[in-house]
Structure 1
Amino acid sequence: MRDNLARQPIDTFAVQEVGTVVAALGRSLRVRAGSGEYEARRAVSCLVEPELGDRVLLALHDEGCHVLAVLEREGREGGAPVRLTADGPIEVSAPAGHLTLAAEHGVRIVSPGETAIASGKVRVAATEASLAVGAMTYVGEQLAAQVDRVKTVAREVESVAERLVQRLERAYRFVAESEQVRANYVEVSATTAVSIKAKTTIVSGGELAKIDGGQIHVG
């Protein structure tokens, strides 16, 4: 370990100047300072991406020069946003605290790849929310929802469940064409009355068909 550190070059000194970015040459920048023009690289600590016309802090040393920071940018009020960039992945860590992202007009997360959120607990609070997803998969052990009104519009709905229980004050079903119920045992129980109306009514039993009541009216 000590041998590796000993073989690394040691910069003895650096001179700092203030200059203006006059050209962008790929990953390098052309900076005009009081002592001349230099081809500089952006320092790792300089996360603000320099643009043409920016006044920057330039460090001149034995191995070349680096742009340390962007000092001023003309026409920033109401213009394009300040862009933070890095040559590789960026990781923001707060091991002993929490991380807060705050903005007056909104926060956006944009990525052409995968966006993953892993947390012990996730809370979302908003006055209004909208979700547009091409395909969605939910896997969980329990789902509880409390809402005042739910409206669903779908071309096709399929539900598979081992047990389904519904407790309703009133239920209305409007079926335009046909409805089929296939079960091993069907029971319909009403406290007051059951009414079945149709142009044609067919009741058939393979072994037994029984009608029982205090009064039976036919016709």
Structure 2
Amino acid sequence: MNVLETDRLPSTATSPGRAAPSTRRERPISATHCVGIITAVDGDQFTIASGTLTGPGRRAVSCLLEPTIGDTVAALIVAPDQLWITAVLQREEGTSHTLRLNGPTCIDTGEAALTVASGSLGFKTAAFVLNTQRAELHSDEAIVMGREFKVIGNTMKLVGAVLNTVFDRVMHYSKQHSRRTEGMDRVSGDYVEVQAKQILRQTGEHVFVNGEKMVKTTGSQIHFG
């Protein structure tokens, strides 16, 4: 037998680095779809009745809507004792909807905008953090209530027609304070005290100092005129 005849013979050996072809056929795990009704809820366990079958089931991660009693659901039977709720098909009118995500959740739209439209929107959380380069709030009426409220920033500007503040105690500190009023500027109180470390000046076209019982001026030097 020469070399050419040897090359024509079928070879049963595999070359290095190549796996031998498998004769075993891969088979996926079988599952059966069904439609059932939620008859009981116990935490994250649900009882599903579908035809003559009644068994416990769990909500699949992709089923964001929390099932409730009376819902018609689509389920996947993986084993006789393993049912997975994949979707809520029908719910009685008037029943509230709850979207439940167990664990940390992130909504990422990339560079696209995200809009939430609702007749009423409420947030209930232990902590709320908003990080943004620019924030705008447009409202006909806004109410902010809290035990402690802080505003921290390099520049703060308030523009409006009327400003009313009611406090039991007000403490103000600033390195420089300038105030201008085009109309009347009035301060009234049971006891009003003005102190200046160096100079206290009052200037006006007409200056009146009225004391119902006494007017007293003290100083090492007093000049009039």
Q: Deviations over 1:123-164 (max 9, x none)?
A: 001000110011111111001221000011110000000000
> Map of 1:136-215 to 2, 5 A cutoff?
136-215=142-221
How far apart, in 2, do the equivalents of 1:101 and 1:203 lie?
67
Residue 217 (str. 1) matches residue 223 (str. 2): yes
Q: Deviations over 1:175-215 (max 9, x none)?
A: 00111111000111101101100000000111110111111
> Map of 1:26-45 to 2, 5 A cutoff?
none
- Number of the residue aligned with 1:110: 117
- Number of the residue aligned with 2:101: 94
Deviation at 1:99, TM superposition (A): 2.0
Deviation at 1:108, TM superposition (A): 1.4
Going from structure 1 to structure 2, the CA distance change for 1:8 and 1:102 (only over 3 Å counts) comes to: closer
How far apart, in 1, do the equivalents of 2:185 and 2:130 lie?
39
The two structures, once aligned, show a CA RMSD in angstroms of 2.9
How far apart, in 2, do the equivalents of 1:172 and 1:203 lie?
24
Tell me the number of residue pairs that the alignment of Structure 1 and Structure 2 aligns: 145
Going from structure 1 to structure 2, the CA distance change for 1:137 and 1:189 (only over 3 Å counts) comes to: same
How far apart, in 1, do the equivalents of 2:216 and 2:159 lie?
41
- Number of the residue aligned with 1:123: 129
- Number of the residue aligned with 1:64: none
TM-score by length of 2: 0.58
Which amino acid letter does the alignment assign opposite residue 220 of structure 2?
Answer: G
Which amino acid letter does the alignment assign opposite residue 115 of structure 2?
Answer: R
Deviation at 1:90, TM superposition (A): 4.5
* Higher alpha-carbon Rg: 2
How far apart, in 2, do the equivalents of 1:8 and 1:177 lie?
79
Q: Deviations over 1:42-68 (max 9, x none)?
A: x977xxxxxxxxxxxxxxxxxxxxxxx
Q: Deviations over 1:53-105 (max 9, x none)?
A: xxxxxxxxxxxxxxxxxxxxxxxxxxxxxxxxx9876432123x122111122
Percent identity over paired residues = 18
Which structure 2 residue ranges, 5 or more long, are not aligned? 1-38, 40-46, 54-71, 75-89
